[in-house]
Amino acid sequence: MEPQFIRFDDVRPFTLAAGVDGRPLFGDGAMVNLIEFEPGAEVPLHSHPHEQLGLVLRGMQALVVDGVAHELGPMEGYVLPGHVEHSAYCGPDGATVIDIFCPVREDYRERWASSAGDVGSQ
């Protein structure tokens, strides 16, 4: 892989859930996803084998793990080991969040590529 330098505003978004869009940056072993939550948007309960680290940049995002909501504001973050069931919701102003996954979520790469009908670059 060659070095990449991108502006996230130029990365085509793809839909993660209703009202939740991601702009991915794929490396060989990890990926970053800049996520925009519309006001009140939710991500349903799910799990994946990937380790997930995140940082809230704007608004409030709550991660629900074992039925407990952990509300996070700007400059607050989290680490979720693989296979941990979780859901998410955001506040009335929406939220901007950075998620990092290790290894790369190939399902995201496929969904992102198919959202444009090609397998092009970022």
Whichever domain contains 40, its CATH number is 2.60.120.10
In a domain, 26, yes or no: yes
In a domain, 39, yes or no: yes
H/E element holding 31?
A: strand 31-37
In a domain, 122, yes or no: no
Range of the domain at 68: 22-114
Residue 116 has a pLDDT of 80
In a domain, 17, yes or no: no
In a domain, 53, yes or no: yes
In a domain, 16, yes or no: no
Q: Round to whole Å and give the CA distance between 86 and 102.
A: 17
Residue 117 has a pLDDT of 58
Residue 88 has a pLDDT of 97
Residue 118 has a pLDDT of 44
At residue 8, the 3 state secondary structure works out as helix
DSSP-assigned letter for residue 111: H
In a domain, 1, yes or no: no
Report the domain count for the chain: 1
Residue 18 has a pLDDT of 96
Q: Map tokens 């991915």 to a residue.
A: 24
Q: Number of C-alpha atoms within 13 angstroms, CB side, residue 50? A: 19
- For the chain, residues with pLDDT lower than 70 are 117-122
In a domain, 9, yes or no: no
